[in-house]
Structure 1
């Protein structure tokens, strides 16, 4: 089964975790888009009334275009379940997120959720995090100084740029620096170190947050933490 079909099957399986009346977090990225589309069909078929919170402008626009009721995260007091993709995850269900430039909002929503489900294709499974570069969201002011600090930490930083070689901006108008953590043995220590650096808004290490991973394919695989 090709990658897109794996994503679609995982997304469809995740709809089974949603019930009438829930408050649902909607992730960002190609796999999350498949879930938003599948959820929209279920809402219409079952005549459900759901409240949804999104992790990016793009996800909100897609959800609203499909008739899904979307509110601000500050309009709810909790989120029952959030369904999102992940760029890479390990056997402990720790992951790297941020390939879609939405890591800050994704982490805020994840931390407000009673349950987090990641939907993935088979390529996202890894024995050790680091095959995918770790996104770090930083404020523009002093960004070169922070870039130098990350270089000194042997993280081989690189600003994320678009096709016109312009620095990519997040929904919060921040920059993304991608760093190499393939040599890092203690990811929890790294997470704490990155958060301690002034100018870093958030990093893409999602540690001890995911409850269930659904891997799409001809036979759906589910991994619980």
Structure 2
């Protein structure tokens, strides 16, 4: 049986096969996107020519280490493809993202991409979202009021912390409120309600954005889900 690390690697390396010469690529953030960046770096060192942007400072550093040249976003109108991870996804490709703290940049990059491919291990696929706490990026000013507003949506809220440095601060200088709903029955409605709260910069519900999900499975295959279809196709990845 394949362990979680290898499931992530299988999914990420399968997604990297979609990257073609001359493409403009968005590089995601997180433990599964990490393997995609490693594979794309290997392809670049082998002669692949791409333009790339990263969704976090951590992914920027990794890309540079792997020999991937990064292009300033103002020099690209659109991206052909973004490969990114997810903390949870359902059969309709609705996602929870932001466990790595980069949800705002991830959503901006996904919005500007012609195609968003999600990579994940099979543990991340769920029948209903909500077991993973929903990350919400909020401004530091009057964050206590914003937390109160979030809690009125029916969740318990914790401001994310570093182990020894107080509150976690995003690359954009904001805080992350992790909202525990347990079960999100109406993601689209929740998305709108979150967006109406002053102090919320962005939230980790990605709805109607993913075009495809590549899921690494314990048996060494990848399961591919397409937007608008609940049909899964199992493909052996050798």
TM over 0.5: yes
CA contact (8 A) 1:73 1:109 kept: no
1:15 CA drift (Å)? 1.3
Structure 1 residues 161 and 23: CA distance shift in structure 2, 3 A: same
CA contact (8 A) 2:44 2:67 kept: no
Alignment partner of 1:224 is 2:235: no
1:165 CA drift (Å)? 6.1
TM-score under structure 1 length normalisation: 0.97
Alignment partner of 1:61 is 2:41: no
1:73 CA drift (Å)? 2.1
Partner residue, 1:181: 181
Structure 1 residues 127 and 2: CA distance shift in structure 2, 3 A: same
Equivalent residue of 2:163, what SS? coil
Equivalent residue of 2:171, what SS? coil
CA contact (8 A) 2:128 2:185 kept: no
1:183 & 1:58 partners in 2: Cα distance? 30
1:148 CA drift (Å)? 1.4
Equivalent positions of 1:75-90 (< 5 A) are 75-90=75-90
Partner residue, 1:156: 156
Where has structure 1 moved over 4 Å in runs of 4 or more? Answer: none
Partner residue, 1:96: 96
TM-score under structure 2 length normalisation: 0.92
Which structure shows the higher helix fraction? Answer: 1
Equivalent residue of 1:108, what SS? helix
- Tell me how large the CA RMSD over aligned residues is: 1.0
Alignment partner of 1:141 is 2:118: no
1:198 & 1:110 partners in 2: Cα distance? 23
Equivalent residue of 1:157, what SS? strand
* Number of equivalences: 224
CA displacement, residues 50-102 of structure 1 (integer Å, 9 cap, x when unaligned): 00010000000110111101122222010000000000000100000000000
Equivalent residue of 2:156, what SS? coil
CA displacement, residues 125-183 of structure 1 (integer Å, 9 cap, x when unaligned): 00000010000000000100111122222211111111126110000010000112334
Partner residue, 1:33: 34
CA contact (8 A) 2:24 2:79 kept: yes
Structure 1 residues 222 and 184: CA distance shift in structure 2, 3 A: closer
1:120 & 1:128 partners in 2: Cα distance? 16
1:184 CA drift (Å)? 3.4
Partner residue, 1:11: 12
2:26 & 2:207 partners in 1: Cα distance? 18
CA contact (8 A) 1:94 1:206 kept: yes
